[in-house]
Structure 1
């Protein structure tokens, strides 16, 4: 449960990001140069999907590296308690303080239909937790995750797992975004019973399968998601910039396999561009 909820939060953040530049169609990139003795690899994941089969080039990159680093250290035993401590609204607030009676009824129907429980049981839960609970419902298949698959690989190869940021840092992303925008997205999801989001998610999976990381970001430039509007710096750019020095440190220490949401790769302030600006050679790995 801890891992599924963590993945849902990560997925929500990834789904709400945009920035683009011209790049090859690839989700796997080799990091070389600037004194690195051995190359490291950058892999763009999708956190919730139907198929996590790893391509041969990804398997080879995993064999050539000795450490797996993801957005979060998914093995952190304290993750659940840390998430729970940031799960609730403060000062006695509830969802009723942010939405109309009609909108509340729509959200209640959404959770009753898809989660089997009334929103009345979760009125004081923050909106990004509520939204993240619904993401597995957008798949027409049993949920799989590249992060969980990479954890299995780490276990098989007897390797450690590290994280580029803490769960506190990921939770703060949504602390810094106005609640009214987050609730607006939840209400929109409720009013068409996830229809728009399911169609959008299916399109995203198709683009991901084509490894078109630029188009993946471009399709996310969608005004239907108010949480995105005006919050790009919080959702994506600041996090990418914070990761670069950490990626450098890991790569200098040992050949490392970095697995982060594919939405972080492209763009002027994407991880690929920022690593290149830092002096590294970052090249697409294509079969």
Structure 2
């Protein structure tokens, strides 16, 4: 697949993967949240249908290509700490704490925490999330407006100058379906715009109607109960991580998202099913199957993994350690930050904590 960026052509060997990695690991609703606040997207202008229509990609793959499905399962099972989203954190002399791998969506299946997880949340003294700034969306958006370079082009560049006429038309239609005029976001950085067209219409509809995504709900419930809520990152730091990836990377993400169209609904539905079953290690192997040839772009993924996952894992683990040292903490971070040799679970173990999965 070849795309045009301005007057340049760029070869993409793996349609879809770049954006899908970002959807899997990053707070895509964070960007959607900011756009909703900044441009006053209302329930009346957002997508009206709050039902999701995606199909599970792996269910179809199991029937159509059993061998490839088996390979996905095998790769997922080989990921360290890739099974389970709820973990117990222990160290001698302090009360146990709890770690939940979250999914940044408004899906009611995700919001409905299992009884044991809910009980741990309710009994905790302190709640830790990626960023406590999500408790006040308008305040967060206002603060980020003070650093426009993180979300917008400040050199006169517009998205129209970077897209071909066909891609520009597809983008305009995709945003229209979500109640956002293209003119309003023309100077936004590509990944901000991608976050909106990547999310299923049902997510945008629920968000516009005031439904909180999981991390927000966890934090809001904690505040209502008089608990202390602490963040591990600032929203500016999260956006900075995205901004540091090359513009070409983000342009590929945007164009690939437009090319995938309604298939994004299937991707999100499959990620949700994997999340609910605790098969987090299968997320990236699953995303590879979305490409026609199953290949992925190693250089792109390496850059993404280092900056968006590994670097942030280290920050989360380092900042969580002194909070966990007090015991009785309930911590929730994106589920894709948990598994792997460089995941939060392994990093906490290196700090002397015992971390075990809870069924």
Aligned pairs for 1:45-124 (under 5 A) are 45-51=102-108, 52-73=111-132, 74-75=134-135, 78-84=139-145, 85-86=147-148, 87-112=151-176, 114-124=177-187
1:40 equivalent among 88, 97, 100: 97
Indicate the residue corresponding to 2:279 in structure 1. 212
For the residues of structure 2 that align with 1:101 and 1:209, how far apart are their CA atoms? Answer: 40
1:25 equivalent among 77, 83, 97: 83
TM-score (normalizing by structure 2) = 0.69
For the residues of structure 2 that align with 1:281 and 1:32, how far apart are their CA atoms? Answer: 5
Shift of 1:229: 5.5
Shift of 1:97: 3.1
SS, match of residue 127 in structure 2: strand
2:263 equivalent among 196, 200, 225: 196
TM-score (normalizing by structure 1) = 0.84
2:304 equivalent among 224, 231, 239: 231
- In our comparison, the structure showing a higher alpha carbon Rg is 2
Shift of 1:107: 1.3
Greater Cα shift, 216-225 or 60-69: 216-225
For the residues of structure 1 that align with 2:337 and 2:93, how far apart are their CA atoms? Answer: 22
SS, match of residue 282 in structure 1: strand
In structure 2, relative to structure 1, the CA distance for the partners of 1:135 and 1:185 (3 Å cut) is closer
Indicate the residue corresponding to 2:196 in structure 1. 133
Which segments of 5 or more consecutive residues in structure 2 lack a partner in the other structure?
1-26, 34-75
Contact 2:99 2:330 in 1 (8 A): yes
Alignment partner of 1:285 is 2:332: no
Contact 1:30 1:283 in 2 (8 A): yes
In structure 2, relative to structure 1, the CA distance for the partners of 1:139 and 1:203 (3 Å cut) is farther
In structure 2, relative to structure 1, the CA distance for the partners of 1:163 and 1:220 (3 Å cut) is farther
Greater Cα shift, 260-269 or 154-163: 154-163
SS, match of residue 252 in structure 2: helix
1:250 equivalent among 307, 315, 323: 323
Shift of 1:124: 0.3
CA RMSD of aligned residues (A): 2.7
Shift of 1:242: 1.2
For the residues of structure 1 that align with 2:349 and 2:323, how far apart are their CA atoms? Answer: 16
Q: Deviations over 1:204-260 (max 9, x none)?
A: 111111011211243245786976463210010000011112111101134211111
SS, match of residue 315 in structure 2: helix
Q: Deviations over 1:153-176 (max 9, x none)?
A: 203421021110011110101111
Shift of 1:96: 2.6
Alignment size in residue pairs: 272
SS, match of residue 162 in structure 1: strand
Indicate the residue corresponding to 2:337 in structure 1. 264
SS, match of residue 115 in structure 1: coil
Contact 2:135 2:220 in 1 (8 A): no
In structure 2, relative to structure 1, the CA distance for the partners of 1:122 and 1:63 (3 Å cut) is closer
